Structure 1
Amino acid sequence: MPNLNVYVAEGHTVAQKAALLQRMTDAVVDSVGSPKESVRIFLIELPRAHVCVGGVTLLADELAGRPVPPGGPTVHAFLIAGRSDAQKEALIGGITRAIGETLAIPPDPVRVMIFDVASTDFGMKGVTAKSLGR
């Protein structure tokens, strides 16, 4: 079930983004034990004018000749409730490493938020995850 929304500022190559998606998939599988085929990751690429850090857009920093911070990335990970704290910590670490190693972004600006979703509040195949035994 894991669904991840990954928000990144524009500017990464197709190869970097493909590697990021693969590495993040592996991090989910390794940390929470989900089957690879059930992992869904949506990469949402944002224009620099749409990312703000400390009240200043990344585009404004760029146009002013200032160093441009990475502006994230931010990851929202939606999981069926029931994962242990250790699994969640492993997921956060694995995602952060995947971002660092594929996009060359240090861990400090990376944000990972895990949302536990009750099995009655997540649907697949037209029914709840609970009705499917999850």
Structure 2
Amino acid sequence: MPIMQIFITTACTQEVRLSLFSSYTAAVNEALGSPPERVRIVMTPVPVEWVCVGGVVGEHIVLINIYLLPGRTREQKRHLIRALVEATTRHTGLPESALRILIYDMPKTNVAFGALSAEELEEQSAALQSSPMP
């Protein structure tokens, strides 16, 4: 389920964007064990003149919001953060100080896949597994 929402001020070429998508997907896969086909990434370019850091307009930043279902360990999250920092600095040339990462553990009742919440899908899966085979 991992969903990443990325706001980035650098003028990324398509090559850089594709490299970031690939590196971010690999980071989530390696750190959390999420299959690549379950990782969702939305990258939004932000004009640098729309960013204010410490009262200074025009500072370059990368803001990464990551939405996860609960259950990841502190170590998994640390591993993910380190991998995202490494990928971002490598592909954008920005310093670590320009990067902010926010991780949100979302209750299963607050995440839907189509019309069913993650909790409902889990309940359906459990019911199927506990049903006697004909």
Runs of 4+ in 1 over 4 A off after TM superposition: none
Cα distance in 2 between the residues matched to 1:110 and 1:10: 12
Which consecutive residues of structure 2, in runs of 5 or more, have no partner in the other structure?
124-134
SS across alignment from 1:102: helix
Kept in 1: contact 2:31–2:80 (CA 8 A): yes
Partner residue, 1:104: 93
Partner residue, 1:31: 31
Shift of 1:83: 0.5
Q: TM-score, normalised by structure 2?
A: 0.86
Matched, 1:91 2:80: yes
Length, aligned pairs only: 123
Shift of 1:106: 1.9
Identity, % of aligned positions: 29
Partner residue, 1:48: 48
Q: Report the RMSD for the aligned CA atoms in angstroms.
A: 1.3
What aligned pairs does 1:1-134 form with structure 2 within 5 A after superposition? 1-58=1-58, 69=59, 71-133=60-122
Aligned amino acid, residue 33 of structure 2: G
> CA-to-partner distance for each residue in 1:36-87, whole Å, 9 max, x for gaps?
11100100100111111121211xxxxxxxxxx4x22110000001100001
Cα distance in 1 between the residues matched to 2:6 and 2:85: 11
Kept in 1: contact 2:10–2:92 (CA 8 A): no
Higher Rg of the two aligned structures: 2
Aligned amino acid, residue 64 of structure 2: V
Kept in 1: contact 2:28–2:39 (CA 8 A): yes
Kept in 1: contact 2:27–2:80 (CA 8 A): yes
Q: Which has the higher helix share?
A: 2
> CA-to-partner distance for each residue in 1:99-119, whole Å, 9 max, x for gaps?
011111221221111000011
Shift of 1:14: 1.2
Which consecutive residues of structure 1, in runs of 5 or more, have no partner in the other structure?
59-68
Q: TM-score, normalised by structure 1?
A: 0.86
